[in-house]
Copies of this chain bind each other. A is one copy, B any other.
Amino acid sequence: MGAKIPRSKEDDYTAEAAAQRRAFAAGQTGAALDTVGTYAIDPAQCRGNIEHFIGCAQVPIGLAGPLRVNGEHAQGEFYVPLATTEGTLVASYNRGMKLLTESGGATVTISEDIMQRSPGFIFESAREAKAFRAWVVERFDDIKAVADATTTVGRLRDIDPYTASKFLYLRFNYTTGDAAGQNMVTKATHAACEWIRANYPGIKHHYLESNFSTDKKASSINTLRTRGKRVTAEASVPRDLLAQLMRVTPEQLRHQRSVSTTGAYMAGANNNGSHSANALAAIFIATGQDLGNIAESSAGISFVEVLDDGSLYYSVTIPSLIVATYGGGTGLSTQQECLKLLGCTGRGSVHKFAEIVAAAALAGDISLSCAVAAEEWAESHEKYGRNR
């Protein structure tokens, strides 16, 4: 087996330790990592974010906007940093943002905010699992006290139980402040499970996670019952403006969406939207979010209709948007700067951030739908993108 990657005994988060590992890598593979090693953030910042640090990937950021957002938290016009390597993406989002802003902005509403950890408990029989469920309901206050004691921010809101076979799956729902909260809820639920095991005999076994919070996976349960923020961004676009900027009518867009929704439904797609994943990925990279969560966050239900006054109504609902303005990668220099650009740093900023993200997703969804409806989509990629 090949050589082990070197670690520094003094301090592993220094430029020296990183350089030593790059030298090691070059020795093993012949590949220089010079640009990777030319980073602008302080390695000491990375403690808690990464192990075996060797440098940074540099992902180009494009600026899109202004984007007018009429949220309950975000109000005004924003310039949105999008980190991507996909040509046309920023241009397309920018176009959608212009349309939204000239239409008076995207109205955004957060209707839910919870993060989960979902242990599974195993019994001898379904009947024992059922009895345990009743006990959990009865002792909820005790369980909550144990869980909440592990964190100053997280709060256990409720426990949602699901039964199958001789198992009881408990979906622990927490509020987690400005953090995404996955680690917080892991720690709290771990403590809760230890307490439960100590106080409820008859549990044969348990797992701290049972794939029921579907972390890093798209799922029906998260689409239905929320993971992270449940956000709806919506806008009414005057038909003249739509014709002028996008060269389509509301009726054309409605038709395009209805054919696409039938396609998505039949294809078993987890959502009927155009491409929320693109907005999320680009903003997630720029602002230090957990990119693995694109899997679940990318579910976006779109709905379109022609209003009585002939204007276009377009909405995107993201049922499991997992974002943070504190913790994770949000504190790294470039990421923190991007959050500041949006005015989303400091306590209590996560809802404002979630609203901007959803508004940006709406902008991109409309823009792509219009391009497909107007039959301009292929052309726009030839104009902006590489011809790969």
- A262 in complex: contacting residue of B2, B62, B165, B268, CB < 8 Å: B165
A81 in the interface, Cβ–Cβ < 8 Å? Answer: yes
A366 in the interface, Cβ–Cβ < 8 Å? Answer: no
Taking CB atoms, residues of chain B closer than 8 Å to A228 are: none
Nearest B residue (CB) for A22: B63
A247 in the interface, Cβ–Cβ < 8 Å? Answer: no
A199 in the interface, Cβ–Cβ < 8 Å? Answer: no
Taking CB atoms, residues of chain B closer than 8 Å to A120 are: 259-260, 263
A73 in the interface, Cβ–Cβ < 8 Å? Answer: no
Some 9 contacts from A to B, beta carbons below 8 A apart, are A32-B337, A36-B81, A52-B64, A52-B91, A57-B61, A187-B381, A207-B372, A215-B275, A291-B291
Q: Which A13-45 residues have a C-beta within 8 angstroms of B?
A: 21, 25, 28-29, 31-36, 38-41
Contact (Cβ within 8 A) B38 A264: no
| Copies held by the complex | 4
* A166, B255: Cα distance in complex, Å: 13
A190 in the interface, Cβ–Cβ < 8 Å? Answer: yes
A220 in the interface, Cβ–Cβ < 8 Å? Answer: yes
A249 in the interface, Cβ–Cβ < 8 Å? Answer: no
Nearest B residue (CB) for A266: B164
Taking CB atoms, residues of chain B closer than 8 Å to A292 are: 86, 275, 277-278, 280-282, 294, 298
Taking CB atoms, residues of chain B closer than 8 Å to A82 are: 50
Contact (Cβ within 8 A) A184 B388: yes
A196 in the interface, Cβ–Cβ < 8 Å? Answer: no
- A219 in complex: contacting residue of B269, B285, B303, CB < 8 Å: B269
- A301 in complex: contacting residue of B38, B266, B378, CB < 8 Å: B266
Contact (Cβ within 8 A) B55 A57: no
Beyond contacts A48-B386, A50-B85, A265-B272: 16 other A-B pairs, Cβ-Cβ < 8 A, are: A1-B68, A5-B64, A32-B337, A33-B341, A49-B84, A53-B61, A84-B329, A86-B292, A109-B130, A111-B126, A184-B388, A208-B375, A217-B270, A217-B273, A221-B267, A223-B268
Taking CB atoms, residues of chain B closer than 8 Å to A109 are: 125-127, 130
